[in-house]
Homo-oligomer: A and B are copies of this chain.
Amino acid sequence: MSNIREVAKHAGVSTATISRYLSHPEKLSAKTTEVVKNAIDALNYEPNLLARNFSKSRAYAVLVLVPDIANPFFSRVIKGIEDEAQRKGYSVLLGNTRYCNERERSYLQLVKTRQADGIIQLSYNLPFPLDDEGCPPVPFVQACESITTDKFPTVKINNLGAAKALTSHLTQLGHTNIACILGPRQSPLTKDRLQGYREALENAGINPSEQQLIYGDFSMLSGFNAAFEISSSRPPTAIFCMNDDMAIGLIRGLRDRGISVPDDISVVGFDDIEQAKYSDPPLTTVSQPTEALGRQAMAYLYELLDTDMTNNPQAELPTELVFRASTAAPKR
């Protein structure tokens, strides 16, 4: 493996010139450019970017904290991040956190020790204590959660609005007893979707406090389990699930109980993951701009790192209702 000194010697120039050829080629004369290029080819030189990064005190890597990489929604967000990162010359480090704050904080070390330049968090926790001004101690972007703040950039959808629209679809079909399978209790996203659900019910003259709420954790299993907690004395005619995975698990559980969707109960999900169209029945859901969420988060982190952006933008990306076969008017 040749290094910059050998290339410089071979080309008869200084190492500074080689370095400039690689990073600021516009500063070199045509003749020098030619000479350097030949030397690099001749020696098959690849610059040691570990050395460059060290010297610039930048890892050109970002850390993505994801609660569950096997969740298809998150894996698509990561795809978007990865896309944009590659375009900007950054690589993506993966931190699977299982919603565990301790693990999140241990990943913070990657930034403290300079192996990553910043963090994109896809969950709601903060992987660090905020400083005295309420700011993150490292470059930080939060994506997919329902948080608005002037302390760091965020990327999200209108969770309240989308949940409201989706629930209104159910009330407009004539449903008045609509249960809800929620996400984790601490998640702001859960709270906002719950609020949207409630507002839609109120708009339809339905008392939200009489509806059954069941907490889940966004996993298919928790949706499946919820099926067995659904009241049989006063069964809902529709159920709003806060993501598609839980809706898919729920439908499976309902079927195991002999309840058919949408004939007996309508079910809606949230996210529009790939599986939503292939499930039986295909899910009525909210389509999120999943990859775009990731790309935007990475774009913000890039601006935080490589420009003087300080205004902490709060992106809100559009969603769309997708009507499929898991919803119908109630029979009764």
With contacts A61-B93, A94-B78 known, is A255 near B274, CB below 8 A? no
Question: Within the assembled complex, what's the spacing in Å between the Cα atoms of A255 and B281?
Answer: 10
Which of B110, B220, B252 is the one whose CB lies under 8 Å from A91?
B110
Taking the complex as formed, is A187 at the interface, i.e. its CB lies under 8 A from any CB of chain B?
no
Taking the complex as formed, is A57 at the interface, i.e. its CB lies under 8 A from any CB of chain B?
yes
Which of B47, B76, B79, B91 is the one whose CB lies under 8 Å from A93?
B91
Taking the complex as formed, is A251 at the interface, i.e. its CB lies under 8 A from any CB of chain B?
yes
Q: Which of A63-111 contact B (CB under 8 A)?
A: 69-70, 72, 75-76, 78-79, 82-83, 91-96, 109-110
Q: Which of A244-271 contact B (CB under 8 A)?
A: 248-249, 251-252, 255
Residues of B within 8 A of A220 (CB): 274-275, 278
Taking the complex as formed, is A135 at the interface, i.e. its CB lies under 8 A from any CB of chain B?
no
User: Which residue of A60, A61, A224 has the most chain B CB atoms within 10 A of its CB atom?
Assistant: A61
Query: Closest B-chain residue to A68, C-beta based?
Result: B79
A114 to chain B, nearest CB (A): 4
State the interface size on chain A (CB cutoff 8 A).
47
Taking the complex as formed, is A155 at the interface, i.e. its CB lies under 8 A from any CB of chain B?
no
Q: Which of A13-21, A48-56, A205-213, A304-312 contacts B (4 or more CB under 8 A)?
A: A48-56
A165 to chain B, nearest CB (A): 26
Taking the complex as formed, is A158 at the interface, i.e. its CB lies under 8 A from any CB of chain B?
no
Question: Within the assembled complex, what's the spacing in Å between the Cα atoms of A72 and B93?
Answer: 19
With contacts A61-B93, A69-B79, A82-B96 known, is A50 near B278, CB below 8 A? no
A237 to chain B, nearest CB (A): 21
A137 to chain B, nearest CB (A): 11
Contact present for A113 and B46 (CB under 8 Å): yes
Contact present for B54 and A50 (CB under 8 Å): yes
Which of B46, B70, B93, B280 is the one whose CB lies under 8 Å from A255?
B280
Query: Closest B-chain residue to A274, C-beta based?
Result: B220
Contact present for A112 and B46 (CB under 8 Å): yes
Interface residues of A (CB under 8 A from B): 46-51, 53-54, 57, 59-61, 69-70, 72, 75-76, 78-79, 82-83, 91-96, 109-110, 112-115, 220, 224, 248-249, 251-252, 255, 274-275, 277-280, 282
